[in-house]
Amino acid sequence: MLSLPDSQQKRIIAALDTPDAGRAASWAAALASHVGLVKIGLELFVASGPGVVASVAAAGAPIFLDLKLHDIPNTVAGATRAAASLGVAMLTIHAAGGPAMVAAAREAAEGAGGRRPMILAVTVLTSLGAADLAATGVAGGPAQQVLRLARLAVDSGADGLVCSAHEVAQLRAGLGPGVPLIVPGIRPAGADAGDQKRVMTPSQAVLAGADWLVIGRPITGAADPAEAARAIAASLG
């Protein structure tokens, strides 16, 4: 299983958010030596199929496969085995799938053999605010729901958590230092927040206790993605 990052550069997960497999492979080639991992998300995976994992991995960076699996336990277990066979380093599931689903994913990953992927449980999407959660029947706001789902996921076997930077300090206090935290919704100072509602700068997120930072458009939308990644790593101190 992947170790915690040992340098600021390796904290960065570059999100290859595009449906174009060729563009994703090109970004990966440019970024492989400047980031810790590259992320293949749902759009790219659905548009290009599982083969895109091999084409992106050829650049040399480990793969964060961000599919946010959420289904009955047996189906998620099967999907986890299939993802593990692709050689990915990280795989996301939804903590809201419940204890049995999280446990099934962990068991499937461990049974896959070889260097298994980290099973990362998504708590509350960074695009959701208090009003959005209330509309789905969840009272108490993001912070309360994140902690509830985080405890459920860790107790059920998740290796780490995906959360907003705004909940990192709370999770560190509630769960201790041993749970890896992967944080999307990261925007360098002055960058457009886009469709994210709970964002933070890279240095703020690391100071709060984040282990890995998922960063997409500020890197891949730059004229020189590699230089953008280097600048972000340098800003972390």
Within a domain: 4: no
Within a domain: 40: yes
- CATH, residue 225: 3.20.20.70
- Residue 128 has what pLDDT? 86
Within a domain: 201: yes
Q: What is the mean pLDDT of residues 118-132?
A: 92
Within a domain: 3: no
Q: Which residue has the tokens 């458009």?
A: 217
Within a domain: 1: no
Domain that includes residue 211, residue range: 9-235
Within a domain: 203: yes
Q: Give the helix ranges, DSSP H, for the chain.
A: 21-31, 42-48, 51-57, 73-84, 99-111, 130-135, 141-155, 168-175, 202-208, 217-220, 225-235
Q: How confident is the model at residue 192 (pLDDT cuts 50, 70, 90)?
A: low
Task: Measure the CA–CA gap between 201 and 191, rounded to whole angstroms.
Answer: 9
Helix axes 73-84, 99-111, angle to 10 degrees: 30
Does residue 10 carry a catalytic annotation?
Answer: no
User: Is residue 155 exposed (0-12), middle (13-18) or buried (19+ Cβ within 10 Å)?
Assistant: exposed
Q: Count the domains in the chain.
A: 1
Helix axes 168-175, 141-155, angle to 10 degrees: 40
* Residue from 10, 39, 68, 197 carrying the catalytic annotation: 68
- Residue 166 has what pLDDT? 86
pLDDT > 50? residue 197: no
- Residue 10 has what pLDDT? 96
User: Is residue 237 exposed (0-12), middle (13-18) or buried (19+ Cβ within 10 Å)?
Assistant: exposed
Within a domain: 195: yes
Give the pTM. Answer: 0.93
